[in-house]
Every structure is written in C-alpha cells, then in structure tokens.
Amino acid sequence: MNTLLDDDIANLMRALGHPVRLSILRILAQRDSDCCCTDVTQMLPLAQSTVSQHIKVLLDAGLVERHAKGTRNCYKLRTDRLAQFGSACSGLFNGLSAEPAPIKELV
C-alpha cells in the first residue's frame, strides 16, 4: 500500500501539470515498447533538449522508467505508480467531498 502523503501527491500533480508531459505519457502508452526520445520529439513541436527535460521530470516523479537499448534510451510508463497515484487521487477527492465534520467526533 504505502499510501501517498500530500507532498507526494503535490509532486505528482506538478509533474503532470504541463500539457506536453501529458502528451508524452499518452505517446508512451501507445508505443509502449522501444520508444526513445527522438520518437517522442518527432511527435511534438519542440526541440529534443526540451523533450528530454520533460521526460526527466516524469522520470524524477517515478512515472516513467528508462532502459538503454543500443545507442537509444527507451522509455515506458510505470503503470504501478500511475495506479498508485490514481487511487491516491480517488482518496483525495472522496475525502474532500465527504461531509463536513460533525460537532462531535464519532466513536
């Protein structure tokens, strides 16, 4: 389980808080194997260095993993972490939409 703290949730939110990074995740989801930085760059109107930076943000957030393949670095989603974040979000939203605390705490 190892449920996420607010700091962790905030970090993940920030990592996903850029449309280009959402695009990168979608691209990786479709071409899940052997997708390298150049592949991603070709699908985006950005310089390679910029895409590499965005991928690094996703790497640091643990949402993506890297494995070398010859001269290329291939990336793929960390579905475990995505699922973990997904349930953390559910928990967050449920907690927020719960009724306000009553005057007395229940036993």
Partner DNA sequence: CGTATTCATCGTTAAAGAGCGATAGAAGAA
Partner DNA sequence: TTCTTCTATCGCTCTTTAACGATGAATACG
- Residues of this chain that interact with DNA (CB under 7 A) are 14, 17-18, 20, 36-39, 45-50, 52-57, 66, 68, 70-74
Tell me if residue 69 falls in helix, strand or coil. strand
What is the closest distance, in whole angstroms, from the C-beta atom of residue 88 to DNA in the complex?
19
Query: One symbol per residue from 31 to 60: x for binding a copy of itself (CB under 8 A), - otherwise; what is it?
Result: xxx---------------------------
Q: How far apart are CA 22 and CA 57, in angstroms?
A: 12
Tell me which of 19, 68, 70, 106 binds a copy of itself, using CB under 8 A: 19
- Say how many C-beta atoms besides its own lie within 10 A of residue 73's C-beta: 15
What is the closest distance, in whole angstroms, from the C-beta atom of residue 49 to a copy of itself in the complex?
21
Chain position carrying tokens 């052997």: 34
Of 66 and 92, CB closest to a copy of itself:
92
What is the closest distance, in whole angstroms, from the C-beta atom of residue 13 to a copy of itself in the complex?
4
**Residues 6+ positions from 22 with CB-CB distance below 8 Å:** 16
**Residues 6+ positions from 66 with CB-CB distance below 8 Å:** 59, 73, 74, 75
